[in-house]
């Protein structure tokens, strides 16, 4: 058993031999206990916040543990392949039953294999599209990473030398007790103020220099929706990046801020819509916001009135139409009918209820659901989010964790990917439908929808996957040891691909955020290496509430903070290091 030591940046051995047991303490409720013959190291509920990572090649499990004051990361290496398989299957089964509240045995063998693959780090590499065979931009990206790697290696060597000196001065048993900040023989994970204080003193000077460089490569427009004119405690909450006119829109309470993108990839405050009122003058806070009809309008929703949508004319800055979609069908999410429908005059849109997918046509009276373009399910499917391809195929995520792929509206899904159990908070799809990225709270799920051995290159949107050949999903997640520095459980915002409709296969980067961190994955690198933990990151002084690429490229990212809106260059995101990950407060590292 190993534990991650934050000051040295390494895993250190805390026990040569331990037993990991999974205990069912109630119906579909499990605890994981790790103990040696003379001490207990951890006992915790099996839940997504563990951020568990299985690695077949190393026969290991790495995970997080949180107490009231800090985060920890443990690594357990099994003695042989047999024990690893038992660990992998036992933990996956417990996680599945906890999240789905049903027996693992109810899942088909194909579904079980899909889920086991999703929980393992070293699944087979996904195929890299031929169109990326030679890509100068990605080569430049790789060169930047290589320079950063050299810097990281120099820092690691310095830290290794310091760590070696300390290890020479103490016995192995003393080192264990120092890490746990306890007297020999005591049990349980405790907070280490010694380590925390050391981290603060070592990092103060580094933090000062970092704060001076914080604004390089980014521009901002403070206070979100303009100067506060009486919105009280309202904070920025929603972001919509414009497709056509170089504008972005941010919800702040019952106001909407309008921001303009410049040719230099900067963002500046333009104006604000100070009161969002319906046609009867009733003020509301938009819970959903989507650009519509060539960026001339916003489609808004009030969480208190889920059966209605509101059209805001952006030229006049007011709601001009109220759409009562259906008296008996509450809409939980809306999406464009195609990937770039918002750039056209298409007035229709895709709607979701908990168990229905449908086209909304505001030109219809009374019932605005197009009757021959709806698909309802008898049982509650708990749909949560949807996204469309350029051809109009639709990917739908659910609170159960299922992903459904529809080739068009009005028919049943061609493909249903099994639920891992965590709710899908957001979903996006590439223009051609080849890749789907689904956002769960603690990880992203990247799925290659191309059918295996299909001569016509069809995807799961067009034809169902063979029962025994479900796609191998790739989990994109933060390393548990990095979470130690970040100090809090992961909670991702909906991830997005970059968008560029004029270039085929142009989606090359994924962006999301958690807490004060913006995170990107290079799609080509993920597909080429099979690694879901190769990401770049940047920390802000406040929580990131929403983020997305500027339309048409992936050079700059629009970042929305509670009281600020920024444009940051992608090149400003760096490989994660101890200094870039430690939470900053009042100019110092915690």
Nearest alpha carbon to residue 446 among 512, 382, 506, 504: 512
pLDDT digits (tens, 9 = 90+) for 209-251: 444 444 556 666 654 444 343 445 899 999 999 988 899 999 9
Share of the chain above pLDDT 90, in %: 68
32: left (phi over 0), alpha (psi -120 to 50) or beta: beta
Q: Is the pLDDT of residue 183 over 70?
A: no
Mean pLDDT, to the nearest integer, of 522-545?
A: 91
Residue 427 has what pLDDT? Answer: 98
Residue 170 has what pLDDT? Answer: 40
Per DSSP bridges, beta strands 426-429 and 415-417 are unpaired
Nearest alpha carbon to residue 333 among 420, 407, 423, 412: 423
Residue indicated by tokens 């999903």: 473
Range in 87-96, 118-127, 275-284 the model is least confident about: 118-127
- d(C-alpha 385, C-alpha 376), whole Å: 15
Q: Is the pLDDT of residue 146 over 70?
A: no
- d(C-alpha 448, C-alpha 471), whole Å: 6
Split at pLDDT 50, 70, 90, the class of 308 is very high
Split at pLDDT 50, 70, 90, the class of 386 is very high
- How many angstroms from the chain centroid is the CA of residue 352? 21
Q: Is the pLDDT of residue 199 over 60?
A: no
pLDDT digits (tens, 9 = 90+) for 459-480: 999 999 987 788 888 999 999 9
The whole model's pTM is what? 0.83
Residue 133: Cβ within 10 Å count: 7
Mean pLDDT, to the nearest integer, of 135-143?
A: 46
Share of the chain above pLDDT 70, in %: 79
Range in 59-68, 211-220, 241-250, 288-297 the model is least confident about: 211-220
Which range has highest mean pLDDT (132-136, 173-177, 212-216, 245-249)? 245-249
For residues 205 and 296, which has the higher predicted lDDT (pLDDT)? 296
Query: Domains along the chain?
Result: 2-128 (2.30.29), 325-476 (2.130.10.10)
Q: Is the pLDDT of residue 128 over 60?
A: no
- d(C-alpha 224, C-alpha 294), whole Å: 24
Mean pLDDT, to the nearest integer, of 130-146?
A: 45
Per DSSP bridges, beta strands 394-398 and 383-388 are antiparallel
Assess contact for 320 and 313: CB atoms under 8 A: yes
Q: Is the pLDDT of residue 49 over 50?
A: yes
Residue 404 has what pLDDT? Answer: 97
* Burial per residue of 210-225, b for 16 or more beta-carbon CB atoms within 10 angstroms, e otherwise: beeeeeebbbbbebbb
pLDDT digits (tens, 9 = 90+) for 334-355: 999 999 999 999 999 999 999 9
Split at pLDDT 50, 70, 90, the class of 156 is very low
Residue 391 has what pLDDT? Answer: 95
- d(C-alpha 535, C-alpha 522), whole Å: 7
């Amino acid at each position: 058993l190993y534990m991650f030591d934050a000051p040295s940046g390494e895993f250190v051995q805390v026990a040569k031999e331990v037993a990991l047991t999974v205990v069912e303490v109630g119906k579909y409720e499990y605890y994981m206990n790790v103990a040696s013959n003379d001490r207990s190291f951890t006992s915790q509920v099996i839940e997504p916040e563990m951020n568990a990572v299985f690695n077949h090649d190393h026969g290991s499990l790495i995970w997080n543990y949180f107490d009231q004051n800090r985060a920890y990361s443990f690594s357990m290496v099994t003695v042989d392949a047999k024990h690893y398989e038992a660990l992998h299957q036992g933990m996956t089964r417990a996680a599945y039953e906890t999240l789905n509240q049903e027996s693992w045995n109810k899942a088909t063998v194909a579904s079980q294999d899909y889920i086991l693959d999703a929980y393992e780090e070293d699944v087979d590499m996904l195929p890299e599209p031929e169109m990326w065979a030679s890509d100068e931009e990605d080569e430049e990206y790789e060169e930047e990473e290589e320079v950063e790697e050299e810097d990281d290696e120099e820092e690691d060597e310095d830290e290794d030398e310091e760590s070696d000196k300390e290890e020479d001065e103490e016995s192995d048993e003393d080192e264990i007790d120092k890490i746990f900040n306890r007297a020999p023989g005591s049990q349980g994970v405790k907070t280490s103020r010694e380590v925390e204080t050391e981290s603060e003193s070592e990092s103060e000077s580094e933090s000062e220099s970092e704060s001076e460089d914080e604004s390089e490569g980014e521009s901002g427009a403070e206070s979100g929706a303009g100067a506060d004119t009486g919105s009280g405690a309202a904070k920025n909450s929603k972001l919509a990046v414009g497709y056509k006119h170089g504008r972005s829109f941010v919800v702040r309470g019952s106001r909407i801020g309008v921001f303009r993108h410049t040719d230099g990839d900067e963002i500046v405050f333009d104006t604000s819509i100070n009161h969002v009122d319906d046609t009867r003058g009733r003020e509301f806070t938009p819970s959903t916001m989507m650009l519509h009809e060539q960026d001339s309008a916003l489609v808004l929703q009030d969480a208190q009135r889920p059966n209605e949508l509101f059209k805001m004319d952006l030229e006049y800055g007011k709601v001009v139409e109220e759409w009562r979609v259906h008296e008996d069908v509450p809409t939980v999410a809306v999406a464009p009918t195609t990937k770039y429908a918002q750039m056209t005059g298409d007035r229709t849109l895709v709607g979701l209820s908990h168990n229905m997918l449908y086209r909304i046509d505001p030109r219809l009276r009374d019932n605005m659901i197009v009757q021959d373009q709806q698909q309802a399910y008898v049982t509650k499917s708990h749909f949560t989010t949807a996204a469309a391809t350029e051809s109009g195929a639709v990917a739908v995520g659910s609170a159960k964790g299922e992903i459904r792929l529809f080739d068009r509206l009005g028919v049943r899904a061609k493909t249903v990917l099994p639920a891992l159990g965590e709710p899908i908070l957001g979903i996006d799809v590439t223009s051609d439908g080849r890749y789907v990225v689904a956002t769960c709270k603690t990880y992203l799920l990247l799925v290659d929808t191309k059918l295996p051995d299909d001569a016509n290159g069809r995807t799961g949107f067009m034809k169902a996957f063979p029962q025994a050949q479900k796609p191998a999903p790739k989990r994109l997640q933060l390393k548990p040891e990095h979470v130690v520095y970040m100090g809090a459980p992961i909670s991702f915002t909906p991830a997005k691909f970059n968008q560029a409709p004029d270039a085929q296969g142009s989606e090359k980067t994924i962006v999301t955020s958690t807490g004060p961190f913006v995170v990107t994955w290079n799609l080509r690198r993920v597909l080429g290496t099979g690694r879901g933990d190769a990401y770049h990151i940047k920390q802000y002084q406040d929580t990131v509430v929403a983020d997305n690429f500027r339309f048409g490229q992936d050079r700059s990212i629009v970042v929305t903070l509670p009281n600020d809106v920024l444009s940051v260059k992608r090149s400003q995101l760096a490989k994660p290091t101890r200094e870039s990950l430690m939470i900053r407060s009042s100019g110092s590292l915690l």
